[in-house]
A and B are shown apart, each in its own frame.
Chain A
Amino acid sequence: IETDKVMVRGVFVLFSLLVGANALYFHIAETEKKCFIEEIPDETMVIGNYKVQLHDPNTNGYADYPSIGMHVEVKDPEEKVILSKLYLSEGRFTFTSHTPGEHTICLYSNSSSWFAGAQLRVHLDIQAGEHTQDYVQIAQKDKLNELQLRIRQLLDQVDQIQKEQNYQRYREERFRQTSESTNQRVLWWSIGQTLVLVATGAWQMRHLKGFFEAKKLV
């Protein structure tokens, strides 16, 4: 049993190392804010892992600098802030959407200006929906064998597809409403503008007629 536990833990560590090694990274300036958009249905969990490294001019490489902090700000589709926290140079943030739509995840460092111009390397991994599930942990907790775990994974995938389809219906409705509104606007404003034009012309005629009559020119 002990060796089993050690094996599982070993696999878990190896897996997380592999995931870490596969993480994407990019460069930003110290005071720059970098935002990512996640368009997700409601009740979807999003997990983000990041790691920040600072450019070291001596080695011309990037090294860990534990005193850098990263602000993570998450806004929901109505531009309301649902998560705004300062994390360490390496961290993970999680949030669950309560309304479907475009959520914005913004990252910026909290470093002060006397380091201005330095480049930061940000390793980032954002996963949403069924990709957030930790199957190694689930297999352990529920004592599932490989086939059962596969089926569980398939169920999660299908669940997410169903949520996405539902969200698609909601988006299509919004699109349709916007198109209907445009149609109405074009119609009513065209009629309105024609009336305003005719009214302005009529007022001009009447006003000038009165003016010339007063001047005894007509």
Chain B
Amino acid sequence: LKMTRLSTIAALAALLTGVAAIELTFELPDNANQCFYEEIKSGEDVLFEFQVVTGGQYDVDLTVEDPHGKILYKGQKKQYDSVNFKTDSPGEYKACFSNEFSTFSHKVVYMDWQIGDGNHSGPKGAAAAQAHAQATSTLDTLATSIGDKLRVVDDYQTHHRLREATGRKRAEELNERVLIWSLGQTAVVIIIGILEVCLLRSFFSDKRSRYGGY
């Protein structure tokens, strides 16, 4: 009984430390550079995705560097991309977003780190993997694959939501602009109409009529 309990706990630990993920949506002001750092062990499968939600031409510069400063990815003015790499050294991995090419549009950027266990390393990992293999049954593998597919569904939903947000914000901006510009144009038409009349009247004022016309 004790062994099964131990294996359950170890398997739980393996299950829960499987994939670490963090997603953040932040605002990147114009002419700004923002860097995010992640402390990752070696041998991990990392998937980094980003998408520009609102702002300007929906583009941003991205640089991903490993702890030794080697550039793993360099993208210029991209709207959406995903970077997949396997870490070979532990340390701080850096992802820098740059909006320095833009003078007045601040951007809202979504980013997503998915750090998965490439291979179980260390004594705890090996024990957990062994315990996990013992406890595996058909149901368990099915449940695991369902879980993985649901995670993919969640990822697609997120990207769909971001694209929809991009469209929706543009539409709201357009709606407001139509109102403001219509009001402005109406005011301009009326003002110019009045100004024209005043100007014409001033051409024919009493002072001038003595000299010009008859």
Contact = CB atoms under 8 A, between A and B. Distances in A.
Interface of A: 3-4, 7-8, 11, 14-15, 18-19, 21-27, 34-39, 124-127, 131, 135-136, 139, 145-147, 149-151, 153-154, 157-158, 160-161, 164-165, 168, 171-172, 174-175, 178-179, 181-182, 185-186, 189, 192-193, 196-197, 200-201, 203-204, 207-208, 211-212, 215, 217
Size category of the B interface is: 35 or more
B37 to A, nearest CB: 5
Chain B interface mostly helix, strand, loop or mixed?
helix
Chain A interface mostly helix, strand, loop or mixed?
helix
Contact of A215 (B143, B157, B209): B209
Interface stretch (B55-63, B64-72, B75-83, B146-154): B146-154
Interface of B: 2, 5-6, 8-13, 15-17, 20-22, 24-27, 34-40, 108, 113, 115, 124, 135, 137, 139-140, 143-144, 146-147, 150-151, 153-154, 157, 160-161, 164-165, 167-168, 171-172, 174-175, 178-179, 182, 185-186, 189-190, 193, 196-197, 200-201, 204, 209, 213
Contacts of A125: 22
B26 A197 contact: no
Given A154-B150, A168-B164, A185-B179, A24 B22 contact: yes
A2 to B, nearest CB: 11
A203 B189 CA distance: 13
